[in-house]
């Protein structure tokens, strides 16, 4: 039976970054190419999100908007029910995406030149945020055991001893796909506490977690570790809402929470898009069943890709992701340099995010977006077969 996520929807002509801007950003002409780069998915938002938006448009007055009680409560209830975390309203800092809050926290918690540590390879924009705020990137390389990533705690501790001001944690991890365990998350929090390192945990992938894995938030560790902690959460990835531009950064330390609020006021980030608020609260309030179904769909895509790579691509390693809909393929055994690999993929009409953008440890890898109808994934597989075999 056809699944509603099987529907292929044309996104061209909607100013869509992933489809309409391949030429501008990657030099790939519009047409036959199948974009698999930007991490949003090609699924239509469900009615429980679009209906309240339509009603709001019908109302027709688009004046300044606030976050009402239902907004806070919908997020608080979702996190209590799904992640066993009790959020407090005072912890919320609502910004257009995660990076504005992250950059402001970097500016508060460190000085130009200070080291900000990432676990590499990691989400490319972290690098940009660190360097564009004139901080220095410190990388602790994840251990890669045949596609399974883990944290090198000895190295992490050594780097903390050598002087790190802030750690940027990506939990779950993009692009490695790991859902860090309770033990791993607790150890990160303990080490940050021991060495006086501020911890920014980006948890915007928390809801995209596949069967057999359990997300564990930094907000679930002992509150003694909350003093220098900020946690970014969002419905962006969970419900396909990136263009709604809305992230909540949780800061349990009262003084630090006040400081960020004051900064947001200074920048005028204290009024909100009515559409973003409505879409998010509807998603958090009504989205559980739909998300379960979507996770099953994404998991089937994930398994299909793993089966294809395992059966046919002898020089590529792929381990099933525990989280995200972004497959991380190790193509190093093909012996191609990144430019050559990219060229071949573009020629075949599959446009991934190249791994080198995620730090040096991403060289020879590609990140492939699986958030698409199964028929489009089949077409991508068909094309990969021609270049990676
Ligand atoms: C780990 C992580 N953080 C932040 C972002 C940025 O998302 P947004 O700008 O919607 O906050 C992304 C986007 O892919 C991401 O993967």
Say whether pLDDT at 1 is over 70: no
What is the distance in A from the centroid of ligand 1 to the CA of 204? 7
Say whether pLDDT at 2 is over 80: no
Index of the ligand 1 atom closest to the CA of residue 98: 11
What is the distance in A from the centroid of ligand 1 to the CA of 203? 9
Index of the ligand 1 atom closest to the CA of residue 242: 10
pLDDT for the residue 188: 98
Which of the four pLDDT bands, split at 50, 70 and 90, describes residue 150? very high
Sign of CA dihedral 118, 124, 129, 131: positive
Spatial separation of the C-alpha atoms in residues 49 and 35, rounded to whole Å: 25
Count of other CB atoms within 10 angstroms of residue 17: 17
What is the distance in A from the centroid of ligand 1 to the CA of 94? 14
Spatial separation of the C-alpha atoms in residues 135 and 141, rounded to whole Å: 19
What is the distance in A from the centroid of ligand 1 to the CA of 186? 23
pLDDT for the residue 26: 86
Q: Which of 95, 130, 171, 202 to mutate to test the pocket of ligand 1 (most atoms within 8 A of CB)?
A: 202
Q: How far apart are the first and last CA of the chain?
A: 32
Q: Ligand 1 pocket: which residues have CB below 6 Å?
A: 39, 97-99, 123, 170, 174, 202, 204, 234, 236, 242, 247
Nearest CA to ligand 1 atom 14: 39
State what percent of residues in the chain have pLDDT above 70. 100
Stretch 125-133: mean pLDDT: 98
Spatial separation of the C-alpha atoms in residues 336 and 333, rounded to whole Å: 8
CB 331 within 8 A of CB 387: no
Spatial separation of the C-alpha atoms in residues 374 and 7, rounded to whole Å: 9
What is the distance in A from the centroid of ligand 1 to the CA of 335? 31
Which of the four pLDDT bands, split at 50, 70 and 90, describes residue 117? very high
Beta bridge partners of 200: 168, 230
Q: Which of 18, 36, 97, 98 to mutate to test the pocket of ligand 1 (most atoms within 8 A of CB)?
A: 98
Which of the four pLDDT bands, split at 50, 70 and 90, describes residue 156? very high
Tens of pLDDT along 33-87? Answer: 999 999 999 999 999 999 999 999 999 999 999 999 999 999 999 999 999 999 9
Nearest CA to ligand 1 atom 13: 39
Tens of pLDDT along 218-252? Answer: 999 999 999 999 999 999 999 999 999 999 999 99
CB 299 within 8 A of CB 370: no
Say whether pLDDT at 131 is over 80: yes
Spatial separation of the C-alpha atoms in residues 103 and 383, rounded to whole Å: 39
Domains and CATH numbers, the chain: 4-46+288-388 (3.90.1150.10), 69-285 (3.40.640.10)
Index of the ligand 1 atom closest to the CA of residue 324: 16
Index of the ligand 1 atom closest to the CA of residue 247: 11
pLDDT for the residue 23: 85
What is the distance in A from the centroid of ligand 1 to the CA of 98? 6
Index of the ligand 1 atom closest to the CA of residue 245: 10
H runs (alpha helix) in 84-235: 99-109, 124-132, 153-161, 182-194
Spatial separation of the C-alpha atoms in residues 44 and 27, rounded to whole Å: 27
What is the distance in A from the centroid of ligand 1 to the CA of 173? 11
Which of the four pLDDT bands, split at 50, 70 and 90, describes residue 190? very high
Say whether pLDDT at 30 is over 80: no
Spatial separation of the C-alpha atoms in residues 55 and 201, rounded to whole Å: 35
Nearest CA to ligand 1 atom 4: 98
What is the distance in A from the centroid of ligand 1 to the CA of 205? 8
Tens of pLDDT along 339-366? Answer: 999 999 999 999 999 999 999 999 999 9
């Amino acid at each position: 039976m056809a699944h509603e996520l099987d529907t292929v929807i044309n996104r061209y002509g909607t100013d869509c970054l992933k489809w309409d801007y391949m030429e501008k950003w990657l030099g790939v002409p519009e047409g036959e190419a199948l974009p698999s780069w930007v991490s949003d998915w090609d699924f239509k938002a469900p009615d429980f999100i679009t209906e309240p938006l339509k009603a709001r448009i019908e109302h027709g007055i688009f004046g300044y908007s606030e976050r009402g009680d239902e907004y806070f409560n919908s997020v608080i209830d979702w996190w209590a029910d799904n992640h066993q975390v009790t959020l407090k309203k005072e912890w919320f800092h609502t910004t257009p995406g995660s990076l504005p809050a992250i950059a402001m926290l970097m500016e508060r918690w460190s000085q130009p030149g200070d080291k900000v540590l990432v676990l590499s390879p990691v989400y490319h924009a972290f690098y940009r945020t660190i360097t564009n705020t004139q901080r220095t990137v410190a990388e602790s390389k994840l251990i890669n055991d045949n596609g399974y990533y883990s944290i090198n705690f000895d190295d992490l501790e050594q780097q903390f001893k050598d002087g790190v001001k802030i750690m940027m944690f990506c939990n779950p991890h993009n692009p490695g796909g790991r859902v860090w365990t309770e033990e791993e998350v607790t150890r990160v929090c303990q080490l940050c506490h021991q060495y006086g390192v501020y911890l920014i945990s980006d948890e915007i992938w928390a809801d995209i977690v596949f069967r057999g894995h359990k997300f564990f938030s930094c907000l679930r560790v002992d509150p003694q570790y909350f003093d220098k902690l900020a946690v970014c959460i969002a419905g962006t990835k969970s419900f396909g809402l990136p263009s709604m531009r809305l992230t909540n950064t949780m800061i349990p330390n009262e003084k630090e929470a006040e400081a960020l609020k004051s900064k947001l006021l200074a920048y005028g980030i204290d009024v909100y898009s009515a559409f973003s608020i409505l879409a998010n609260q509807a998603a958090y309030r009504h989205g559980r069943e739909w998300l379960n179904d979507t996770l099953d769909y994404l998991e089937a895509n994930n398994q299909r890709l793993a089966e294809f790579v395992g059966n046919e691509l002898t020089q590529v390693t792929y381990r099933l992701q525990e989280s995200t809909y972004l497959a991380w393929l190790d193509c190093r055994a093909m012996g191609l340099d990144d430019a050559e690999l990219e060229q071949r993929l573009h020629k075949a009409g599959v446009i991934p995010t190249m791994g080198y953008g995620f730090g040096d440890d991403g060289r020879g890898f590609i990140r492939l977006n699986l958030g698409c109808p199964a028929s489009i994934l089949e077409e991508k597989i068909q094309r990969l077969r021609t270049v990676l075999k």
